[in-house]
């Protein structure tokens, strides 16, 4: 089964188990969940799978350096999907990781046709957003792909091991520019170890980005862990990059994925509060056709986008989430009431986020060296 990191289609619920089995993703067991109980995305089962979290836990136990690496494609303002990954980076940084945050302007050009200079304002806006979410820039390394020679250097080095057939097998048939962007991402993912020496690294991603993880692990294994010099095999000590995988949020309006093609499927953090409220009130729920059926049969919170966005992003209280889930199943919580609560919580969050962000725009420009 191929998954496409540049596609607008969603992964169906029934496909997750197939992906786990086919690509060797580890499920989150109770022991792992207990070890990472301070991470709300793992605790709440938003993150459903991983690669090598055990190595991260060992580094934490032994007080050794480790990193979290991810980034953003500067092609537009923050929305619900990009916020999920950003908050995961912040969660891991709070647990002790040094954060590496890449601005993927090369990929933005190859995938979206956005020139580097036009991507700069999106980059500043995105950077201010993640700072407002809590990223500590003093414990982070932040770069633009187009300005970071190390990631391009890795791209050239590992490309000796890459064939057209290999890329076709992982990604399907794509333009060569996207293949190059994928190899630059290998440089992004390996940057913590190239820059500061071997260390465990975790990359929080949606499952649709796993092709990049698999490509990087394979090339790390072949280039940085086993090299031939003068006919001798020399073992290096780079760690294979690890990852966590969260389920992708479907569209608010019931479409299969949040996409610019479906404006009511998502909202950005820059649009008007009235627009955000309207989209939340129009969101798909797990409710029945009418109040009587809801009270008799109960709702289906596992299908409800109101419950999902609260669980992923806007509700900090685990007990409140559990209560909402139980009351929905029993038919005691009606959709209209739940939407009103959600609107109030989201709008309050967005207002406070914008206040913090406004104070951080200059800091974002300073970090990215953009005038």
Domain residue ranges in the chain = 15-248, 263-358
Say what the pLDDT of residue 154 is: 95
Q: Count Cβ atoms below 10 Å from residue 302 Cβ, excluding itself.
A: 12
C-alpha span between 354 and 73 (Å, rounded): 21
Say what the pLDDT of residue 234 is: 54
What would the two tokens of residue 1 be? 């089964």
What would the two tokens of residue 288 be? 């029945």
Q: Name the class of domain 263-358.
A: mainly alpha
Along the 371 residues of the chain, how does pLDDT read in single tens digits? 668 888 756 677 777 888 888 888 999 999 999 999 999 999 999 999 999 999 999 999 999 999 999 999 999 999 988 999 999 999 999 999 999 999 999 999 999 999 999 999 999 999 999 999 999 999 999 999 999 999 999 999 999 999 999 999 999 999 999 999 999 999 999 999 999 999 999 999 998 899 999 999 999 998 887 655 555 555 568 999 999 999 888 899 988 778 777 889 999 999 999 999 999 999 999 888 888 888 888 889 989 999 999 999 999 999 999 999 999 999 999 999 999 999 999 999 999 999 999 999 999 999 999 98
C-alpha span between 317 and 320 (Å, rounded): 5
Say what the pLDDT of residue 12 is: 72
Say what the pLDDT of residue 33 is: 94
**Measured CA distances, 167 to 9, 179, 212 (Å):** 20, 7, 11
The strand pairing partners of 203, in sequence order, are: 243
- φ/ψ of 228, rounded to 5, equals -105, 125
250 CB-side CA count, 13 A = 17
Which homologous superfamily is 15-248 in?
HUPs (3.40.50.620)
Say what the pLDDT of residue 254 is: 84
C-alpha span between 248 and 77 (Å, rounded): 18
Say what the pLDDT of residue 114 is: 96
């Amino acid at each position: 089964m191929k998954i496409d990191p540049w596609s607008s289609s969603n992964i169906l619920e029934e496909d997750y188990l197939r992906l786990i089995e086919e690509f060797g993703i580890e499920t989150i067991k109770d022991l792992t969940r207990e070890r990472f109980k301070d991470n709300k995305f793992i605790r709440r089962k938003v993150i459903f799978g991983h690669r090598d979290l055990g190595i991260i836990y060992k580094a934490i136990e032994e007080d050794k350096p480790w990193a979290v690496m991810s980034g953003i494609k500067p092609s537009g303002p923050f929305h619900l999907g990009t916020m999920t990954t950003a908050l995961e980076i912040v969660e891991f940084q709070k647990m002790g990781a040094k954060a590496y945050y890449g601005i993927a302007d090369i990929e933005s050009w190859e995938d979206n046709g956005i020139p580097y200079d036009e991507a700069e304002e999106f980059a500043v806006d995105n950077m201010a957003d993640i700072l407002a979410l809590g990223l500590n820039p003093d414990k982070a390394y932040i770069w633009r792909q187009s300005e970071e020679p190390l990631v391009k250097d890795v791209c050239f080095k590992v490309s000796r091991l890459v064939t057209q057939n290999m890329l076709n097998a992982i990604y399907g048939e794509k333009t060569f520019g996207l293949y190059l962007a994928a190899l630059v991402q290998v440089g992004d993912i390996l940057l913590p170890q190239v820059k500061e020496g071997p260390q465990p690294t975790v990359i929080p991603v949606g499952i649709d980005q796993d092709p990049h993880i698999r490509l990087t692990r394979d090339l790390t294994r072949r280039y940085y862990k086993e090299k031939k010099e003068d006919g001798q095999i020399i073992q290096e000590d780079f760690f294979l990059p690890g990852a966590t995988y969260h389920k992708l949020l479907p569209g608010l309006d019931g479409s299969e994925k949040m996409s610019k093609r479906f404006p009511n499927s998502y909202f950005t953090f820059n649009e008007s509060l009235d627009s955000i409220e309207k989209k939340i009130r129009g969101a798909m729920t797990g409710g029945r056709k009418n109040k009587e059926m809801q009270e008799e049969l109960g709702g289906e919170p596992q299908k409800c986008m109101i419950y999902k966005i609260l669980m992923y992003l806007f509700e900090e209280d685990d007990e409140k989430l559990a209560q909402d889930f139980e009351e929905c199943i029993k038919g005691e919580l009606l959709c209209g009431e739940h939407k009103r609560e959600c609107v109030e919580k989201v709008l309050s969050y967005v207002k406070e986020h914008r206040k913090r962000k406004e104070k951080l725009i200059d800091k974002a420009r300073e970090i990215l060296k953009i005038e």
